[in-house]
């Protein structure tokens, strides 16, 4: 006779999912799937090593996550590779041509709840730990139970904090991290963020506790801003991905692995933002950054006509004629719940006034004035 357990039956692994919460926001997140370890997926490059090393490069950035990166934006995602599930973060966007990039910034995160059997797969940047002759700008403090995989440590984090990661980076580069080991049933990680001026240290100021401040005159390249914080979630069975925007750069974020039954199937609420005015022939962008719900599909129309080239959370569109146009997006969840939002756009001629309407007779008046001026000038020259 088999023994009976007093414990309630637990869902199988395939019935677990990941939930991310910030304030009133709650949404399910699917890991990005890959065949390579997260180190290769992140693909951090730096030059202080043998050129034969696969991670040799001059970008000091994550080159593997470029398809997910956006300027002045911090992204958070889960990545599932052959060695398990990792929490991945990348700040800003790498540009090979520096003049195309945005000014760098600073971000600090205090993390609690990191699995003790996890490890740091990537800490960007950590090249000073690997090369004692080189200094770096980041400060990463890891407690004794959460140093596995790290090449070094910059001191103790605050009490009851597993790790404090404090990044600064320059124009057209990125910073970030990857922590592997989120496959357990009791995963519950909290991120207490501090972006931009609120970060633990910022290039060129006196909040950096380990040494004298850097040269403030060089701070322009480091002291830009992160304006958006997004979650990247896989869709279409991993064939595509979507972006979900956090409401705040200040509120804590919690990442949990939970049974799918705990995920609320809330009706979506569509939000649409973009310019209220556009110019004929110039491309403008619209996004659904304030939308809530587990969105699986986006359908865009302009003046009722479907935009076949746009099926994601953003629309880039060029208006061909002046007038008032209406941009509309319909969002749909996996359970086929929908919501629609629209926005009017005043489209003006490039040569028109701010309102896009030429003042009647203005051109004639201007021509007459110009003719009179030319006549007077000619008379003045003849008399001289």
41-69 tens-digit pLDDT = 999 987 766 677 666 767 889 999 999 99
Position 334 confidence tier, pLDDT thresholds 50, 70, 90? confident
Separation between Cα atoms, residue 346 and residue 355, nearest integer Å: 8
Closest CA to 73 of 207, 176, 211, 179: 176
Structure tokens given for 315: 């629309």
**Of how many residues is the chain composed?**
384
pLDDT at residue 333 is higher than 90? no
| Extents of the domains making up the chain | 13-262, 265-375
Closest CA to 140 of 131, 148, 150: 150
Its CATH class, for the domain covering 265-375, is mainly beta
Tell me the whole-structure pTM to 2 decimals: 0.68
Residue 97 Cα distances to 93, 101, 135, 182, angstroms: 12, 7, 24, 36
pLDDT at residue 229 is higher than 90? yes
Find the range with the poorest average confidence among 31-40, 122-131, 239-248: 122-131
pLDDT at residue 325 is higher than 80? yes
Closest CA to 83 of 11, 34, 42: 34
Compute the average pLDDT of residues 226-230: 96
pLDDT recorded at residue 368: 47
Compute the average pLDDT of residues 231-244: 87
- Any idea what DSSP says for residue 373? H
Structure tokens given for 145: 């139970």
Separation between Cα atoms, residue 322 and residue 352, nearest integer Å: 10
Unique residue bearing structure tokens 């973009």 = 274
Position 213 confidence tier, pLDDT thresholds 50, 70, 90? low
pLDDT recorded at residue 289: 84
pLDDT recorded at residue 207: 54
Compute the average pLDDT of residues 120-135: 74
pLDDT recorded at residue 3: 37
pLDDT at residue 202 is higher than 50? yes
Close Cβ partners of 64 (under 8 Å, ≥ 6 residues apart): 40, 41, 42, 43
pLDDT recorded at residue 266: 63
pLDDT at residue 235 is higher than 50? yes
Close Cβ partners of 315 (under 8 Å, ≥ 6 residues apart): 274, 285, 286, 287, 300, 307, 327, 329
- Residue 183 CB coordination number (10 Å): 17
Average pLDDT, the chain: 83
Unique residue bearing structure tokens 């596995």 = 148
* Burial grade of 49 (CB within 10 A; 0-12, 13-18, 19 or more): middle
Dump pLDDT digits (tens) for 140-187: 999 999 999 998 888 899 999 999 999 999 999 999 999 999 998 889
Separation between Cα atoms, residue 233 and residue 76, nearest integer Å: 9
Close Cβ partners of 375 (under 8 Å, ≥ 6 residues apart): none
pLDDT at residue 29 is higher than 70? yes
More confident residue, 282 or 3: 282
Dump pLDDT digits (tens) for 257-307: 998 877 766 678 899 999 999 999 999 999 998 887 778 899 999 999 999
């Amino acid at each position: 006779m088999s023994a009976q357990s007093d414990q309630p039956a637990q869902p199988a692994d395939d019935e677990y999912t990941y939930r991310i919460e910030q304030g009133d926001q709650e949404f399910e997140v699917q890991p990005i799937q890959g065949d390579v370890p997260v180190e290769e997926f992140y693909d951090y490059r730096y030059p202080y090593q043998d050129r034969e090393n696969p991670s040799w490069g001059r970008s000091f950035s994550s080159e593997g996550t470029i398809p997910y990166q956006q300027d002045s934006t911090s992204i958070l995602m889960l990545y599932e590779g052959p060695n398990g599930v990792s929490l991945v973060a990348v700040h800003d966007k790498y540009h090979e041509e520096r003049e195309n990039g945005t000014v760098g910034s600073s971000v600090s995160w205090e993390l609690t709840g990191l699995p003790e059997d996890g490890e740091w797969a990537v800490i960007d940047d950590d090249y000073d730990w690997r090369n004692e002759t080189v200094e770096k700008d980041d400060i990463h403090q890891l407690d004794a139970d959460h140093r596995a995989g790290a090449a070094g440590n910059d001191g103790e984090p605050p009490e009851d904090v597993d790790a404090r990661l404090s990044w600064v980076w320059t124009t057209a580069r990125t910073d970030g991290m990857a922590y592997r080991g989120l496959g357990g049933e009791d995963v519950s990680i909290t991120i207490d963020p501090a972006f931009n001026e609120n970060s633990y240290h910022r290039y060129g100021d006196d909040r950096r506790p380990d040494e004298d401040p850097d040269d403030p005159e060089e701070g322009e390249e480091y002291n830009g801003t992160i304006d958006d914080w997004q979650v990247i979630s896989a869709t279409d069975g991993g064939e595509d991905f979507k972006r979900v925007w956090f409401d705040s750069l200040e509120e804590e974020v919690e990442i949990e692995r939970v049974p799918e039954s705990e995920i609320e199937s809330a009706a979506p609420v569509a939000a649409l933002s973009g310019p209220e005015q556009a110019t004929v022939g110039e491309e403008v962008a619209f996004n659904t950054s304030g939308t809530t719900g587990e969105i699986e599909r986006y359908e865009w129309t302009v003046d009722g006509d479907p935009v076949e080239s746009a099926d994601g959370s953003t629309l880039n569109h060029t208006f061909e004629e002046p007038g008032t146009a209406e941009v509309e997006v319909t969002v749909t969840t996996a359970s086929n719940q929908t919501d629609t939002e629209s926005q009017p756009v005043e489209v003006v001629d490039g040569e028109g006034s701010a309102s896009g309407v030429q003042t009647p007779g203005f051109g004639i008046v201007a021509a007459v004035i110009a003719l009179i001026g030319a006549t007077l000038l000619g008379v003045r020259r003849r008399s001289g």
